[in-house]
Structures are given as structure tokens and as C-alpha cells.
């Protein structure tokens, strides 16, 4: 928690927050009347949504720690378990995951819990490090820790947890170095990278929609093999009635004539 807070307080973290927040705002330009939940360390990207959303709360995992947010007014954060969010079924409309999927031991279990608390047709924005980006290769930032994702891996995870990916965006084309020249050219880096669709962005910003029904694959019909009946062998009549040659006959005792004298 201290490392995350210090990073977003630094010049490089401030630029990263602005660039990723713009990608989130492009996907969700209006969240009026919506209940928004952030999980992980989402507070840098929730500030722009508090003005229009009906309610915004942030849950942080117990293994990471929790911090007070916002700075003024009542706290909207809570320390929770990743596998059991203290919310009812279908109680939130939107969810933002930041610094969550790449650090959890079971991404599928976390997405199943997010699916449970979302309303039917609810939407989730996932912010994860890009496996092919420079930010995932340097551990000087929070995006260099945990498991990065490729597009295909993130798509497979969403489909397994009954989410349909809809909108893809990338951010952080700038190198993760705290140099003034790079930070001043951050907007130019983003425009060039997005315009050319370069695959080396720092993070994926993906929106997915909750599905209500699991697709069922129809198996291919298998032809049944017809088996012809086989007649059982029947012994012939001749062989059944004839006596075997090896049968021994019982000898008949010799009768003595009554006229025979001793």
C-alpha cells in the first residue's frame, strides 16, 4: 500500500494516472445514476467518476492494505477478502479493477466474485499490465509486479468467468523512466502509439459485459455402427446321435447251461 501511494505521488505516477484515467473516461464518459465499485488500488481512477456516479466505493484486499479515500469527507474505502466481497448479489452497476488481477493467486475466482455482485448486464473495466510492454519488464513501478496479461489471455479469462469483452484500449506508451523530457512528451507518445496501434503499450484497459447464460457447445452427431447378428453354431444331428468310438461296452456275464455237468 505504501509503495502504491508513493508511486502515484511521484511525477511518473501522476502522468500514468492521467493517461490511464483518460482511457477509462473514453470508455465510460457518463456514469450518472450508477453504483461504481473499485477493487484493488483503484482510487487514482475513481476521482473522475465521483462527480456523476450515484455512489462510488473502493475495496482493497487484506493482503495489500487499505488507505483513507477521499482525503476530505467520510471514507469510501474498506478492507475486504478477495474471495468474499461484503455485497449482495447484483448490487453494483460498474466495477473497475486496478492492481488486482495481476497480483491475485486466482484471477478466475476474483472474476467470479465480481460477476456475482454485478447487476445483469453490468460492466467491468480491467486495467492490467501488458505482457509485451516495457512497464511489465521493470519492477520500479507497480505494473512491473505480478502476472502480466496478453490480449488472448485476458479474453480467455473473461470468457471463463462469463464476461464478454467489448471495448479494448491501451495506455502508457511512454517509457517508465522518471525523466522530464519523457514526461513532457507523454501526450505525444500516447497519440503516436494509439494512432499506429503499436503493441507495446504499458497496460490494457478493457471493458467487458456480464453474461447471464453460459454458452453450451453442441456435440457432433456420431453414427451408430450396425452390427449384423451372428448365428450360434449348432451341432449336426449325426454327430449328436452317434456314439463315440471310445465308449466301452459292459461285458454280458456267461450263462451256464443247466445240462452241463461239473
Mean model confidence pLDDT for the chain: 86
Give residue 257's pLDDT: 47
In a domain, 250, yes or no: no
Which residue range(s) make up the domain with 25? 2-210
Give the model confidence (pLDDT) of 117-160 as tens digits: 999 999 999 999 999 999 999 989 999 999 999 999 999 999 99
Beta carbons within 8 Å of 9's beta carbon, 6+ residues apart: none
Give the model confidence (pLDDT) of 66-101 as tens digits: 999 998 889 999 999 888 899 999 999 999 999 999
What's the domain count of the chain? Answer: 1
Distance CA 141, CA 12 (A): 9
| CATH code of the domain covering residue 61 | 3.40.50.150
Give residue 1's pLDDT: 86
Examine residue 239 and say whether the peptide bond preceding it is cis (omega within 30 degrees of 0): no
Q: Is the pLDDT of residue 108 over 60?
A: yes
In a domain, 254, yes or no: no
Closest CA to 114 of 64, 19, 42, 21: 42
Q: Is the pLDDT of residue 227 over 70?
A: no
Give residue 196's pLDDT: 87
Amino acid at each position: 500500500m505504501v509503495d502504491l501511494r508513493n508511486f502515484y505521488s511521484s511525477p511518473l505516477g501522476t502522468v500514468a494516472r492521467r493517461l490511464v484515467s483518460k482511457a477509462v473516461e473514453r470508455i465510460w464518459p457518463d456514469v450518472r445514476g450508477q453504483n461504481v465499485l473499485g477493487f484493488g488500488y483503484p482510487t487514482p481512477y475513481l476521482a473522475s467518476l465521483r462527480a456523476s456516479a450515484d455512489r462510488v466505493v473502493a475495496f482493497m484486499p487484506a493482503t495489500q492494505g487499505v488507505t483513507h479515500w477521499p482525503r476530505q469527507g467520510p471514507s469510501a474505502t474498506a478492507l475486504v477478502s478477495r474471495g468474499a466481497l461484503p455485497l449482495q448479489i447484483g448490487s453494483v452497476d460498474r466495477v473497475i479493477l486496478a492492481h488486482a488481477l495481476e497480483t491475485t493467486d486466482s484471477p478466475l475466482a476474483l472474476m467470479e466474485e465480481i460477476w456475482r455482485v454485478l447487476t445483469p448486464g453490468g460492466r467491468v473495466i480491467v486495467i492490467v499490465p501488458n505482457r509485451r510492454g516495457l512497464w511489465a519488464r521493470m519492477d520500479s513501478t507497480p505494473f512491473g509486479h505480478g502476472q502480466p496479461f496478453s490480449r488472448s489471455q485476458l479474453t480467455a479469462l473473461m470468457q471463463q468467468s462469463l464476461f464478454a469483452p467489448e471495448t479494448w484500449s491501451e495506455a502508457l506508451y511512454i517509457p517508465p523512466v522518471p525523466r522530464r523530457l519523457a514526461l513532457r512528451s507523454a501526450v505525444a507518445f500516447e497519440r503516436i502509439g494509439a494512432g499506429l496501434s503499436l503493441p507495446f503499450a504499458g497496460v490494457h484497459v478493457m471493458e467487458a459485459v456480464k453474461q447471464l447464460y453460459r454458452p453450451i457447445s453442441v456435440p457432433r452427431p456420431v453414427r451408430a455402427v450396425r452390427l449384423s447378428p451372428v448365428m450360434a453354431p449348432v451341432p449336426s444331428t449325426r454327430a449328436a446321435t452317434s456314439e463315440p468310438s471310445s465308449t466301452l461296452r459292459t461285458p454280458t456275464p456267461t450263462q451256464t447251461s443247466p445240462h452241463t455237468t461239473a
